[in-house]
Chain A
Amino acid sequence: MSARCKYDTTNILVVGTGGQGVMTATEILAEAAIALGHDAKKTEVAGMAQRGGVVSSHLRFGQKVLSPQISPGSADVLLGFEAAEAMRWRHMLRPDGLVLMNTGRLVPPIVELGLYDYPDDPVAEMRAAGTRVFSFDASSIALELGEIRLGNTVMLGAISDHLPFPAEVLEHCILQRFARKKAAIVELNRRAFAAGRAAAEAAARADADAASAA
């Protein structure tokens, strides 16, 4: 029995921990896809995620989306808001898929208690396993802009050049969310988006340089 899909869908998996704005970011991505006339479904199981647990949010869009869930091994892009969380969900990625990840770490109490170890170098481990990774410190970028909460706009900026539609569409959807707020907040998000976009571009260049050097 064939397992092919009738429709071409784009599968984006956004992961992080409860409170980072993962679900909001995915929702904005979904809004952008819908604004362009796509069908879209967004799903996550995050019942207890408010308590700092694992959050993974699935976005599928295309002409027609059936199942809302991304099957393991079929995500086109993995957007990781936290270093170890990007590692946790790597198996969801297509073998030739791309990881865009924050190198910022959120170390949970279970690790601080000495019961488990945080991976030494998540980026290196993923690369060693054969995954293409563009990494950057989104947490620091957000803090430099003055608000750790800008982290998800930074992350959206980072993914904006890796979508099947122009980055400006996504930027517009983000800024529209803040349209009713102060102009300063809109401007901060504009800068966060640009910074994320630049960070991903720099990471892509570094990756290409490393590949040509090797």
Chain B
Amino acid sequence: MTAPAVMSTPPVAAASRLLMSGNEAVARAVWEAGTRVAAAYPGTPSTEMLECLAGYPDLYTEWSVNEKVSLEVAFGAAMAGSRSFCAMKHVGMNVASDALMTMTLTGVSGGLLIAIADDVGLSSSQNEQDSRYWGRFAHVPLLEPADSQEAYDFALAAFELSERFQVPVILRLTTRICHVKGVVSVGTRTERPVAGFTKDVGRWVMVPSAAGRRLPLMFDRERRLRAEAEVSPFNFADSGSDRRVGFITSGPTYLHVRESFPDAPVYKLGLSFPLPFDSLRRFAATCEQAVVVEEVEPLIETELMAQGIAVTGKQILPLSGELSPQVLQPAVARLLGEALPEQAKTAPLKVFPRPPTMCVACPHLGVYYTLSQLRNVTISGDIGCYTLGFGQPWNALDACISMGASMGMALGLDKGRSAAEKDKKIVAVIGDSTFLHMGMQGLLDIVYNRGNVTVLLLDNRAVGMTGGQDNPGSGRDIHGEEAPRVDFVTLVKALGVREERVHLVNAYELPVLLKTLREETRIPEPSVIITGQPCVLIKDYHALKPYMVIDDRCTGCGNCIDVGCPAIHVTRRDRVKKASGRAVDLAFVRIESAACTGCGLCLKPCAPDAIVHVDTLAMPIKVVRKGAELSQNS
């Protein structure tokens, strides 16, 4: 498996030097802090925090249906006086923020830590957001570690801060912390007494009058937190001999700055909201000029400027992506009017792109192959592996913005269609976990408002993209133990989809899938087609006998390549002239039988029956293993 290694049985005793990712380090600290409840919805790059925590003893962990619910669960535990934790990727907080914006008024009893992982550089996300805004927006303190050791230290300290100020604390991570492994010194768990829930309607029931009374408390808390930031050991200045430029920075960019400008003074912000204005003003005065280095938005820069502290930042640095040494060094050289630092250059060589692909035998392959055969259709898509359907060879997904949005977008595409698009078919594609996360409400809206949308619910019993985590549709909990499994057919019928319009179809039965799709897109009412074949990377998937190509039977039509399976390879290409005079390109193929798991999707488009089971010709081909994986530790 390529999903970052999960510590299935994490060491519970203290060990001095452990190689840990930022995510593993946070999980370790959360456990040591005596946390009793931890909840999350998977999302890159945050997923491993809960995966790892689930392996520790003496605390409750769960995969929640979405980030908002996970935060509410963690908050409930904090109301009850337990230390609690919740983790999400940046876009998760967009979903959870409704809860956050009011729990900042009530505050917490037990410590509550919220880890938000920003995908700076968009390695696996639909946008690039700066979660440091949430500290400002919700008036809660925000900590920014630079590496695994700080991720551990800050997470541990965050609980103390949370309880001392009775406020949820945000730990802002980025991909370059979550997925970087470094050496961490750890301790061991301390159990803490749990105060229990104290009834207090003025505090916990946020009706307007009560909430209004708590607003001044929130602002006073922010003033006290700003004073805390002035004395926090997490905020400090490194003196430097070259005072032409001083740097103010937070998070992993601190390491990039130190690496790039070893002699420069640097102010490092660990508790980066509220900002310690006095300390920063004093620091800026010691340098000829001050440059703020922050990923992504100019938040520190703007707030310092508003305080009358002269700084430069996004005028010389990019507003997106990582601020690595290769970005910082030329920008600062330009600022100083210096020649760019001499760097030995090795020219890049031109190589084809290698976008992510769907797996060998993935049940989505057949769905997208079928969708690619529909004409006059707009396909509203969603977040998951199946987003890849937009690409080659399928070109069968036309929109994707956020979790669950395929439903609402499809209804809007239906209601807002132009006169010329009167007969256009509207299809929405969504996965099982995404549907349960935020898609159900959209389908209810389609039904309630009598939309003409055909929904494809691709139930592969896993959160595939993040590594096959369990969800309420998989029938297993975070520990892999049996759990109640939602019945999608009953669920969509309960939302009001008529029984005749709900179909359970095998994703590998292409003719049935195509026929059902054609019929349902013709009928002007909501319908749902559910596929139920499991993700090939989870244990529910069982590999079948692999296939091979009989070389002399292959006519080079290339139809099988259009399925998009990575196990099909071209052996030679040719170009022939048809009787009509038209030139046709031919591609003769072979199947990588060691990778093939016998799903049979490529058989359907093969006219000459050139694809057969490997033992049909009694040829001994050793099957190495299912899938195309080569990793050691799976």
| Interface of A toward B, CB cutoff 8 Å | 1-6, 17-21, 23-25, 27, 30-31, 34, 39-55, 65-69, 71-74, 84-85, 87-88, 90-95, 97, 106-119, 125-126, 129, 131, 142-143, 147-149, 151-153, 177
Contacts and interface: CB of A to CB of B under 8 A. Distances in A.
A30 B21 CA distance: 12
B183 interface: yes
Contact of A117 (B179, B352, B566): B352
B209 interface: no
A108 B625 contact: no
Nearest to B263: A2
Contact of A108 (B182, B354, B465, B632): B354
Interface stretch (B53-61, B278-286, B323-331, B542-550): B323-331
Contacts of A87: 349, 351
Contact of A109 (B242, B262, B325, B393): B393
A81 to B, nearest CB: 8
A69 B176 CA distance: 9
Given A67-B255, A109-B393, A4 B262 contact: yes
B181 interface: yes
Contacts of B573: 114
B385 interface: yes
Contacts of B333: 1
Contact of B631 (A21, A85, A92): A21
Given A68-B147, A108-B566, 14 more contacts: A3-B329, A6-B262, A19-B630, A20-B631, A24-B5, A27-B181, A30-B19, A42-B181, A45-B121, A47-B45, A50-B465, A72-B326, A92-B346, A148-B630
Interface string B449-474: 00000000000000001010000000
Contacts of A4: 262
Contacts of A91: 345-349
B18 to A, nearest CB: 9
A69 B303 CA distance: 30
Nearest to A111: B352
B176 A68 contact: yes
Query: For the side of the interface on B, what is the size category?
Result: 35 or more
Given A90-B348, A108-B357, A47 B44 contact: yes
A90 B356 CA distance: 21
3 nearest A-B pairs in the assembled complex, by CB-CB distance: A47-B124, A51-B356, A116-B352
Contacts of A88: 348-349, 351, 354
Interface in B134-192: 147, 175-176, 179-183
Contact of A51 (B242, B332, B385): B385
B628 A149 contact: no
Interface of B: 1-5, 17, 19, 44-45, 119, 121, 123-125, 147, 175-176, 179-183, 242, 244-245, 252, 255-256, 258-264, 322, 324-326, 329, 332-333, 336, 338, 341, 343-349, 351-359, 385, 388, 392-393, 465, 467, 537, 561, 564-566, 568-570, 573, 585, 587, 589, 594, 624-625, 627-633
Given A24-B632, A48-B124, A91-B348, A107 B569 contact: yes
B176 A73 contact: no
A24 B1 CA distance: 10
A93 B349 CA distance: 12
B65 to A, nearest CB: 22
Contacts, number: 252
B346 A119 contact: no
B4 A23 contact: yes
B354 A17 contact: yes
Given A47-B119, A112-B561, A41 B352 contact: no
Given A52-B354, A73-B344, A114-B587, A46 B17 contact: no
A116 B353 CA distance: 8
7 contacts: A1-B264, A27-B19, A34-B183, A50-B1, A52-B357, A110-B353, A119-B351
A69 B4 CA distance: 18
Contacts of B631: 19-21, 24, 149, 152
Contacts of B260: 3, 67
Most buried by A among B2, B147, B245: B2
B22 to A, nearest CB: 10
A5 to B, nearest CB: 6
A45 B388 CA distance: 18
Contact of B349 (A52, A129, A147): A129
A93 B258 CA distance: 22
Given A3-B260, A3-B341, A43-B181, A27 B2 contact: no
B630 A151 contact: yes
Contacts of A107: 569-570
Contacts of B565: 109
A43 B354 contact: no
B180 A41 contact: yes
B255 A68 contact: yes
Contacts of B569: 107, 112
Contacts of B121: 45
B329 A18 contact: no
A151 B629 CA distance: 11
Nearest to B329: A3
Most buried by A among B589, B625, B632: B632
Contact of A19 (B2, B179, B264): B2
Given A2-B263, A30-B181, A109-B564, A73 B343 contact: yes
Nearest to A88: B351
Contacts of A119: 351
A110 B255 CA distance: 38
B392 to A, nearest CB: 6
Contacts of A148: 594, 624-625, 630
Contact of A27 (B5, B119, B341): B5
Most buried by B among A5, A23, A85, A131: A23
Nearest to B388: A51
Most buried by B among A17, A55, A125: A17
A109 B121 CA distance: 25
Contact of B633 (A24, A66, A115): A24
A76 B444 CA distance: 57
Contacts of B256: 66-67, 69
Contacts of A109: 357, 392-393, 561, 564-566, 568
A92 to B, nearest CB: 7
